Amino acid sequence: MKKAILTLLLVGTTMMNQAQENKLTPISQVTVSGEGKVKVTPDEALITVGVEYTGSDAKEVKKKNDETVDLVLKTIKSKGIPASDFQTQQVSLYKNYDYQTKKNNYVASQTIKIHLKDLSKYESVMMDLVNSGINQIQGVEFKSSKMKQYETEARKKAVMDAKMKAEDYVSVLNQKIGKAISISDTTAPSYPQPMYRNVMAKGLEMDAANETLAIGEIEINANVTISFVLE
C-alpha cells in the first residue's frame, strides 16, 4: 500500500514538473496583421426619407403628417417594393419654442428606410416619393446583394496578407513560419455617414430621364492579427 502511494506521488510530481517546464518554455513566434480589400459595384441601396411638418396646433400637425406618410407608404407599395423591404425608423411629435415670435409650435415627423434591391428604379422611386409628399432625403447607403460572399473573400485576402508579411520578416533571418497559434479578427465596424438634405415638394421637378445617382464602388474590408510559430 505504501509502495503504491509512493509510486503515485512520484508520477504526480513528475507530471507537475513537466507541466511547469512546458509553461516556462517560451514559444518563438511572430505576430503580424493582415488586411484584405474587395471593391465591388453595388446593386442595392438603403434610402432614408422623411416627412416633417410644423404648426401651432399639435393635432393638426400630426394629422397632416400622418396623411402624408399614408400616401408615401402607398406610393412605395405601388412601386412593387415588398413590405419586408421598408420600415418606419422614427416617429416624433414635440413642442418647439420660437424665441422670435415668443410662441410655441409643434413639429411632427416620421422617417422611413427603404431597401431598394433594383437600382434601375431609383430615379422613378425618388420622383414618386417627392410627389407623394416627402420633404426630407436623409441618406443613401449603397450595398451589395452578395455582401457575405465578398466579406469571406476579404477575410481570406487578409489572412494571405498576414502570412506573406510573416514570411517576409523571417526570410532574412533564415527561418520559416510554422503553424498559426492564434488568429484575431480586428475588422472595425463600418458606419456609413449619409449626406443629409431637405427637399421642397412644391415646385420641385425631378426628371426620371436624368441621372442623379453616382453609384461608384463600395469597398469591403477585413483585418486580422495572426501569431505564427517560428521554426
| pLDDT tens figures, 105-130 | 999 999 999 999 998 899 999 999 99
Distance CA 186, CA 226 (A): 10
C-alpha grid cell, residue 187: 475588422
Per-residue model confidence (pLDDT) at position 97: 85
pLDDT at 99: 84
Phi-psi region of 149 (alpha: psi -120 to 50; beta: other; left: phi over 0): alpha
Q: How many CB atoms lie within 10 A of CB 34?
A: 22
pLDDT value of position 18: 59
The mean predicted confidence, pLDDT, of the chain is 84
Mean pLDDT calculated for residue range 183-195: 70
Distance between CA 145 and CA 59 in Å, rounded? Answer: 42
Note the pLDDT tens digit of each residue in 46-77: 999 999 999 999 999 999 999 999 999 999 99
For 94-105, write each residue's pLDDT tens digit: 998 888 888 889
DSSP three-state, residue 195 = coil
How far is residue 36's CA from residue 70's CA, in Å, rounded to a whole number?
A: 45
Q: Enumerate residues 6+ apart whose C-beta is below 8 A from 167.
A: 177
The average pLDDT across 138-154 equals: 93
Smallest CA-to-CA distance from 137 within 125, 146, 148 is with 125
> How large a percentage of the chain has pLDDT more than 70?
79
Give the largest Cα separation in the chain, rounded: 102
How far apart are alpha carbons 165 and 35 in whole angstroms? 11
Higher-confidence residue: 25 or 29? Answer: 29
**Which residues is 104 bridged to in the sheet?**
97
Q: Which residues of 118-133 are buried (b: 16+ CB within 10 A; e: fewer)?
A: ebebbbebbbbbbebb
- Alpha-carbon distances of 40 from 47, 85, 146, rounded to whole Å: 19, 22, 10
pLDDT of residue 102: 82
**Has residue 210 got a pLDDT over 60?**
no
Q: What is the pLDDT, as a whole number, of residue 50?
A: 96
